Structure 1
């Protein structure tokens, strides 16, 4: 029954999307169905608390962020911090796009989580062709790339030994010679038929999906960001992965945030002189207060959302609010999820330098339908599987705890996840909270071996610990201390039965419209 409900929900939502497509009569590649944004004074806007309104104001004012389709890529694009990819891999990037479709990408890899000990640099040259506006990820542009050459510059004899071991199966003897500073070893040459990339797990599939955003800031200042496709969290899948979400953005070398010490270091770098980032001041993980998204976040499998967390360190409790949208500007809400639970500290991560391990548990949840498609899907759900059967009302929050979650959405309660956190300061010395990246396949990190090794976009603190957020509110059906869970639902795995949606404690709900059968 859960599977049938998931199929019905997937079919309903997909038919709504196809109906929108039919209404658009155009053969142009760059036109996609886009519903009109609500007016500036629309009641569809989120009513955030005053302390956090400024952090999310740009989500309410689409005029401050613009995105052209197709995007203009020409120029230099640089990392603004040490990036962490699944694995983990620590790197910075410097990409240059030239007129005439040619590009050069420098990827600098490091041994440490602060990007201060370079190991090697990949020099990637190729061609890029923009194809069309994405019909899967709204606001994105699909592209195809053709690699011409890939070389590697090793920055120490130790790097030579380590990469020789990784490459010995695909290209025996390539790096067997004595290390020479500044030498470029050719790993790939399309014309010569050489390909030694398999041992590195290297892929430029990130170029398959692009989006350029321009932020219009006070006093006429601009900040331009280049979002490239996400990197699959499963190493074995990344080479063939077709991105539907984004990774951390690069910024234009001409229009970037100020001040930005990292920007200058990356821009002045080369394959022979990689940027050596200063080691940041170590910050103890302090979760207290309230944290919100700094941008409209995109997830793989067609999902846009904002996150809003409150942590109560004295009780080790937390509350999360996830608002989901149908558009990349986060102005067309579809549904909201509120979750409450507890967390336990682990310790410093032995896998990801600078990270801290935690365990989170969800014990209470509610859902609010914010558009007609979601409302119909929830009202059609099986009785006893998702709140009050047939009792869903647009804009009205409904507790789903007493039904053990919501089978139609793949939400099961109670639920546990193994997490990875870290804290940093941004360019304005504000605290940032990084939470673990969700598995690309939409599943939950509910086992130790699925604990994240990379991070989601950071959350910005908008209420300090000395300004305690209001305590969680609960419906008449349940409280965090009194649960009425039917035994069969408390232990069942709704996420295994319903491949449509999953509740992920700190990442929201992942929509998988194409996996239901």
Structure 2
């Protein structure tokens, strides 16, 4: 009787404990999420470095004299795959080479443009904080075609807009022959037919130059380099010729003899386009944690991102917004949760994978007194009006998002992603460039924004499958454990009972 009572007590105790464990509330744990995001992890350390812009200083006014090159095969809206080699001279003139490719690895050249002209730097930009405005003049543009299929398409496309511009009797442009697209250098001759090619150099309208320095553990010394940021390209190609930049393209790096990637592009020219070595193609694996690689510019603010992906197709995002290009003066932060689809290879952008992302929950935290006032003036369409407090997060799911910052919930958007290995060996995750006009519902994205770096969790570059903890998985694990313990207790009780009888 005593043994039976003991077995019953143990069994009930385990069931009670298991029940309590599985009943632990999993509701709004925002505080713990933010603590984890800012914890002493590699992700948190990287965000703190970005918030202080450790090792980064702006060069004001910019001094662009010298040679600047792309640091990867860049993907422009369209899509267009491009490498840039820009030279700025001490007399304010420039000679710019743009090499376009048919593939996302920049191994199969399509055509190139050589652009000559002058640039004059002006005042600090009122549109993009930290940038310098500039005026430019293009005097001559020449083109060389390398790909026969592209040459045939381009000739037909340009001649529809500018009849007879390419007067060759052949239906394809001659390969490795120089064609003049714009010529203002000859007073007696005017040639221009750029609209059919969506050609514009408005990227020269804003300029930012940065000096970077960091300690390289591999060689045990500090290394430094310079980066040049030029204006972004409108995500709608039809608007490209009329768009004034409000953000940046990927930065160009100043040529250094000890930069191996720079050497691949250095001294190439229109009859000798650069060919990048083949790189490993990685399947996009949405797992682990990722953090920004730099203080990223948006239309009005600057942002640092931290994204967390789980194995059950759910995700979390932390977005910290700032008013300055060094990410030192916070404005507000948002925390979002949602789900995403499985990925499918893009039929538009080679090397890209398309996803559907749904954002279903959101919390907003004002980070300065001005933002508190602004949020408190809302008409109950951004949390509860009048209830906002400094550094106090408030959920805005119930009000359908937050009109103050222009986000409605729930919302679905198409994503374009790709993954590659960075030069430091860590995985980089690229996701879609934000639409220039802000409308996420338009055509599918065809270009990327600044990459995120892998900062926690299993390395996605190797084929290892793990199960991330989440509320549903934890609950299931607890339940299975409880059943196992209950079975073990009953077995022990039966054994003792049989021994005694």
**Which bin holds the TM-score, normalised by the shorter protein?**
0.7 to 0.9
Specify whether residues 421 and 321 from structure 1 end up closer, same or farther in structure 2 by C-alpha distance, changes over 3 A only: same
SS at match of 1:319: strand
Higher deviation after alignment, 114-123 or 398-407: 398-407
Q: Which residue of 2 aligns with 1:154?
A: 145
Q: Which residue of 1 aligns with 2:336?
A: 339
Q: Which residue of 2 aligns with 1:310?
A: 308
SS at match of 1:254: coil
Q: Which residue of 1 aligns with 2:289?
A: 290
Q: Hey, what's the Cα distance between the residues in 1 that align with 2:141 and 2:175?
A: 18
Q: Which residue of 2 aligns with 1:224?
A: 226
Q: Deviations over 1:258-280 (max 9, x none)?
A: 5x43x221113111110111221
Equivalent residue in structure 1 for 2:384, among 380, 384, 388 = 388
Q: Deviations over 1:316-338 (max 9, x none)?
A: 00000000000000010000011
What RMSD in Å do the two structures reach over aligned CA positions? 2.0
1:217 Cα deviation (Å)?
A: 1.7
Q: 1:170–1:197: 8 Å Cα contact kept in structure 2?
A: no
Q: Which residue of 2 aligns with 1:487?
A: none
- 2:242 aligned with 1:240, yes or no? yes
SS at match of 2:342: strand
SS at match of 1:92: strand
- 2:424 aligned with 1:431, yes or no? no
Q: Hey, what's the Cα distance between the residues in 2 that align with 1:101 and 1:468?
A: 57
Pairing 1:84-483 to 2, within 5 Å after superposition:
84-177=75-168, 180-190=174-184, 191=187, 192-218=189-215, 219-254=221-256, 260-261=260-261, 263-299=262-298, 301-313=299-311, 315-382=312-379, 384-443=380-439, 445-446=440-441, 449-465=442-458
Specify whether residues 412 and 62 from structure 1 end up closer, same or farther in structure 2 by C-alpha distance, changes over 3 A only: closer
- Show structure 2 runs of 5+ residues with no match: 1-36, 216-220, 460-465, 472-501
Q: 1:55–1:460: 8 Å Cα contact kept in structure 2?
A: no
Q: Hey, what's the Cα distance between the residues in 2 that align with 1:51 and 1:86?
A: 32
Specify whether residues 255 and 457 from structure 1 end up closer, same or farther in structure 2 by C-alpha distance, changes over 3 A only: farther
SS at match of 2:418: strand
SS at match of 2:114: strand
SS at match of 1:451: coil
SS at match of 2:84: strand
Q: Hey, what's the Cα distance between the residues in 1 that align with 2:209 and 2:373?
A: 35
Q: Hey, what's the Cα distance between the residues in 1 that align with 2:63 and 2:225?
A: 14
Q: Hey, what's the Cα distance between the residues in 2 that align with 1:371 and 1:320?
A: 21
1:172 Cα deviation (Å)?
A: 3.2
Q: 1:224–1:255: 8 Å Cα contact kept in structure 2?
A: no
Q: 1:69–1:133: 8 Å Cα contact kept in structure 2?
A: no
Pairing 1:2-41 to 2, within 5 Å after superposition:
none
Q: 2:121–2:133: 8 Å Cα contact kept in structure 1?
A: yes
Q: 2:151–2:174: 8 Å Cα contact kept in structure 1?
A: no
Q: 2:50–2:304: 8 Å Cα contact kept in structure 1?
A: no
1:407 Cα deviation (Å)?
A: 2.4
1:206 Cα deviation (Å)?
A: 0.3
Q: Deviations over 1:471-499 (max 9, x none)?
A: 58xxxxxxxxxxxxxxxxxxxxxxxxxxx
1:469 Cα deviation (Å)?
A: 7.4
Q: Hey, what's the Cα distance between the residues in 1 that align with 2:339 and 2:54?
A: 39
Q: Hey, what's the Cα distance between the residues in 1 that align with 2:446 and 2:62?
A: 31
SS at match of 2:244: coil
SS at match of 2:234: coil
Q: 2:52–2:326: 8 Å Cα contact kept in structure 1?
A: no
Q: 1:310–1:469: 8 Å Cα contact kept in structure 2?
A: no
Q: 2:363–2:395: 8 Å Cα contact kept in structure 1?
A: yes
The aligned length equals 419
1:47 Cα deviation (Å)?
A: 3.5
SS at match of 2:332: strand
Q: Hey, what's the Cα distance between the residues in 1 that align with 2:39 and 2:318?
A: 11
1:181 Cα deviation (Å)?
A: 4.7
- Show structure 1 runs of 5+ residues with no match: 1-45, 473-517
Q: Hey, what's the Cα distance between the residues in 1 that align with 2:469 and 2:207?
A: 39
Q: 1:290–1:469: 8 Å Cα contact kept in structure 2?
A: no
Q: 1:223–1:255: 8 Å Cα contact kept in structure 2?
A: no
Q: Hey, what's the Cα distance between the residues in 1 that align with 2:448 and 2:87?
A: 25
1:57 Cα deviation (Å)?
A: 4.4
Q: Which residue of 2 aligns with 1:3?
A: none
1:183 Cα deviation (Å)?
A: 2.3
Q: Hey, what's the Cα distance between the residues in 1 that align with 2:274 and 2:162?
A: 28
Greater gyration radius: 2
TM-score, normalised via structure 2 length = 0.80
Q: 2:181–2:193: 8 Å Cα contact kept in structure 1?
A: yes
Q: Which has the higher helix share?
A: 2
Specify whether residues 469 and 67 from structure 1 end up closer, same or farther in structure 2 by C-alpha distance, changes over 3 A only: farther
